[in-house]
Amino acid sequence: MSLYIGTNYHPHDWPSYRWATDVKIVKDAGFNMVRLGHLCWDSYEPADGNFTFEWFDIVMNLFLDAGIKVILDVATRPAPRWVHIRCPGCDIYGSSNTRQDSLTRYMEDVDDPAYQRYAFRFARQLAERYKDHPSLFAFALDNELGSGYPSYSPAATARFRVWLQNKYGNIQDLNQAWQTQRWSRRVNSFEEITLQENSISQGMPSAWLDMRRFFSDGIGNFLLKLSAEVRSAAPGVPQTTNHYSDHKFGFDFGKFAGSLNVNPGVAHYPEYLPGDSDRLKGASFYQMHRLWEYSGPMWILEFQSGTGNNPQGPYGLDRMHAFVFLLYRTQMVLGWTWRTMLAGEEQFLYGILGHDGIPTQNYQEYKALAADFKKLEQYALPYLPNPQIAIAYNYENKMVAFRQPRQFDNKDYTDKVREALVFLDIKNYDYNVVDIRNIQNSYKVLIVPAYYLMEEKAAENLRNFVSQGGTLVMTGFSSMLDKTNAAFSTSRPGLLDDVFGIRVATFTRTNVDWNHEDIVIARNGASVKSGSAFYETLELKSASSYAQFQGKNLCAVSVNTFGAGKAYYIAVDSDNPTFSFLLPEILSAAGIETPFSVPDGVRARKLAAGQHFFVNTNDKAVTITLPENGTGVLTGKSYSGTLTLPPFEAELIVS
């Protein structure tokens, strides 16, 4: 397979006489891919039904003549001003039920039927015109769908009532699910129901979560419909999307991923903090949970080429990040953006070219990276492993913590999942991020951190996973709430207490005024200080104690044999020190092979027999003991015994 490198180009921002110059500079850089067409619907359709594609035909043909492929965005957001005028239902209404003018991008309600008629008409016109163009590589569905705002309009309220009626069938079941007897919140008909947030307050947790599920379904179903429209108009053309489902107003992409046949896309903006590996840890999670269990490669549709307020970082840092993400199944890197924009929301988000259109240091770095990609694509890249470890993620848990932050230590759920995978990242294990409501592949180990809300289907899948021989690892506060967001009235972890063989009796906070104590977990004479803000008290039923809280006479980690597998329960929060202490032994016992040893801050993979790729993410040189001697693909040098990598450098050693 090929590797692709290029940029995001905005021809509608620049005079037509500049286009040929830009295409030449793009080609001279060694780029073989560009992304075009995003955020410019009204450049194609400046008035209702008045399509003006002729200008864009010129751009497509310029890239064709240069031998450069195109990912073409189907830019259904932001909607043109004339769309907002013709379909007021697509306007965003604030929680105070006040209409908000579309002052910036992403201020449309994509669930509005009138908006969808205009959006899908435009999508069909664009797809039909360019489906057979020789330079077309793929269509990209919208831009950052999920990044925007919920609408509390009267029209959205009416759709919410229909959504609830379809879900519950009758008002009695809704009252039971929402526990409306509390605080005299009973409703007598669906017509009484409003959206569960206003300018002063939020609805009860169960009702509020249903509202967020409604918003999520509106976004997810729009994406499915848009994909179907484009596929109908342009059958056989690949599709991708750089959705932003994990945004605070995003959507439950895991629910829709199995029905959406697209190549995963993502944006990568790590900023410039040399030596700060946290940027890589966070970025790797966002990359992997966009992939889910997709067996193909990742396309990075937007890749940092300068940051807000900083035109460039230390030379080589962006290149290093690109090398790292080759180890995370990346096939494509497209710099955002080609030329720094003169105006608009991102006029100081710097690009590969400066405001004056002259190449910058970033251009030289991307040009070097393009030459590197050309050398590397002859080998086993993109790297597509078959991971034996999975980590669970679920957007509804993010919403649960967002609604009741004090219970969950005011920490973002996504950050807790990231903490759980830091050890896997820094020790170079391959893993998948999975939706445990619908697990597609087979794994030896499944890690379920901070999984607050447990549905029956998810619990059934975990039960089957362990009984059939899998190793399950779950952390504290998990399975506290049922599918309605009500606390379980049965023993915790709800629906799974027999799988883990325990009862979670209570918990103790260690970050309150009256109690500041260290949480130390001990096993076999070794110990670690946890960073958790609480610890739980476990009553062991069929489980045994695997690790203890030092000085407390309490079980810190339980282990239970269930069927042919084992279930570990860690009675603290998701925490990197805790996982780094416990996981090596647990993974080894589950039959997971330990990756070959490298110094801290080095990302490494065995791509294939006789092919070992190393990336130094440190801001200082490191020396690596080689598993095999060989020749460096990037330098052409021969290496025996060791390899010394300068800061931010990489090498593929071929034996």
CA 266-55-138 angle, to 5 degrees, is 30
DSSP per position, 289-323: HHHTT-SS-EEEEEEESSBBTBS--STTHHHHHHH
Lowest mean pLDDT among 302-311, 387-396, 542-551, 612-621: 302-311
With a cut of 70, say whether residue 279 has pLDDT above it.
no
Lowest mean pLDDT among 154-168, 280-294, 383-397, 557-571: 280-294
**Side chain identity at 200, as an amino acid letter?**
I
The Cα 633–Cα 377 span in angstroms is: 10
With a cut of 90, say whether residue 512 has pLDDT above it.
no
**Average confidence (pLDDT) over 226-251:** 96
What's the whole-model pTM score? 0.96
Q: At which residue do the structure tokens 């957007």 appear?
A: 395
Q: Which residue has the higher pLDDT, 486 or 412?
A: 486
pLDDT, tens digit, for every residue of 366-392? 999 999 999 999 999 999 999 999 999
In this prediction, residue 273 carries a pLDDT of 67
Average model confidence (pLDDT) across the chain: 95
Ranked by mean pLDDT, the top range of 92-96, 222-226, 310-314, 600-604 is 222-226
Q: Which residue has the higher pLDDT, 325 or 1?
A: 325
Neighbours of 40 (CB within 10 A): 18
With a cut of 90, say whether residue 287 has pLDDT above it.
no
Predicted confidence band of residue 208 (pLDDT cuts 50, 70, 90): very high
With a cut of 60, say whether residue 274 has pLDDT above it.
no
Q: Which phi and psi (to 5°) does residue 359 adopt? A: -55, 145
**Average confidence (pLDDT) over 294-314:** 91
Q: What percent of the chain has pLDDT over 90?
A: 89
**Average confidence (pLDDT) over 564-584:** 96
In this prediction, residue 534 carries a pLDDT of 96
Residues 370-387, buried b or exposed e (16+ Cβ, 10 A)? Answer: bebbeebeebbbbbbeeb
Query: Domain ranges in the chain?
Result: 154-207, 389-589, 602-654
In this prediction, residue 6 carries a pLDDT of 98
In this prediction, residue 3 carries a pLDDT of 98
**Average confidence (pLDDT) over 286-310:** 90
**Average confidence (pLDDT) over 535-562:** 97
pLDDT, tens digit, for every residue of 388-443? 999 999 999 999 999 999 999 888 899 899 988 899 999 999 999 999 999 999 99
With a cut of 80, say whether residue 277 has pLDDT above it.
no
The overall longest dimension of the chain from CA atoms, in Å, is 78
In this prediction, residue 256 carries a pLDDT of 95
Neighbours of 543 (CB within 10 A): 25
Predicted confidence band of residue 309 (pLDDT cuts 50, 70, 90): confident
Fold for 389-589, please state it. Answer: Rossmann fold (3.40.50)
- Cα torsion 140, 374, 609, 433 to 10°: value is -20
Q: What is the CATH number of domain 602-654?
A: 2.60.40.1180
Tell me which H or E stretch contains 251.
none
In this prediction, residue 310 carries a pLDDT of 86
**Average confidence (pLDDT) over 17-29:** 98
**Average confidence (pLDDT) over 250-278:** 84
β-bridge mates for residue 646, sequence order: none
